[in-house]
Amino acid sequence: MTRPAKLETYKCGDCKAKTSLFIERCDDTDQFYYEKKVGDKIHEDDVPMHDGSEHHSYCPDWQGDSTYWHKYEREWSVDYIDDIECPHCGGVAGRLINGSFQIKHGRNSHHAKKERMRYATQGMDKKQANKFYEESIAASKERVKTGEQHYAKMVPNLKQMEAQGKIKRLSPEAREQSRDGLKQANIHMTKDGTIGKAPRKKR
């Protein structure tokens, strides 16, 4: 879902409660949807494993006790969503402001947190993977044209780094002490000090 969400505010005609939520649009179907909270909140230990479906999700109760989670299901509509079910009394809540401003997803928004959770468990989606491949292929072609390497070996300039004070040259005594310390650690950590030695020939 690459399109920005639109923040809308709805007011219930019965209890007069106001509810704000994000209206999003599916790139594949062009339908509108929003995340509707359903059922009672459950403890994080009782949250079921996600089955890979994108039509429902579980998120912590960020406004209350975050150890309890709510289930959200998508409510779809072909037309723009002007009315929703009031989450407080179950009545009809109408859209309060027409043409409210669009905002992009913030780092700690519900959408961003849900996307990070999805990415951690499922990895890239199809669009992200295609974009990565296209950028990588374009970069490789550009390197071929210019004669540069796509992944070049980095060789640090030790003299320059020493002149900038980022590293310090060891004295002969300090180098000897460091070498002896590595040898002793090698002996204690491995059998007879085998780090750095050539492998034995097979008989």
- pLDDT of res. 1: 44
Please give the residue range of the domain that contains residue 164.
158-189
Q: 23 with 116, same domain?
A: yes
In a domain, 40, yes or no: yes
Q: What is the pLDDT of residue 32?
A: 87
pTM for the whole structure: 0.42
Does 61 map to a domain?
yes
pLDDT score of 56: 74
DSSP letter string over the chain?
A: --SPPEEEEEEETTT--EEEEEEEE-TTT--EEEEEEEEEEEEGGGPPPP-S-SSEEEEE-TTS-TTEEEEEEEEEESS---EEE-TTTS-EEEE-STTPPB-PPPTTSHHHHHHHHHHHHH---HHHHHHHHHHHHHHHHHHHHHT--SSPPP---HHHHHHTTSS-PPPHHHHHHHHHHHHHHHHHHSTTS-TTSPPPPP-
* Residue 73 within a domain: yes
What's the confidence (pLDDT) of residue 127? Answer: 79
Domain assignment present for 29: yes
One domain for residues 180 and 112: no
Q: Is residue 142 part of a domain?
A: no
Q: Is 137 within the bounds of a domain?
A: no
The Cα–Cα gap between 22 and 105 comes to: 10
Do residues 22 and 114 both lie within one domain? yes
Together in a domain, 23 and 79? yes
- Quote the pLDDT of residue 82: 87
pLDDT value for 60: 80
Max Cα–Cα distance, the chain, nearest Å: 88
Q: Is residue 92 part of a domain?
A: yes
Q: What pLDDT is stored for residue 58 in this prediction?
A: 77
Place of tokens 């949807």: 33
Counting as low any pLDDT under 50, the low residues of the chain are 1-2, 99-103
117 and 162 together in one domain: no
Asked if residue 183 and residue 109 are part of one domain, the reply reads no
- If asked whether residues 116 and 59 sit together in one domain, one would say yes
Same domain, yes or no: 86 and 169: no
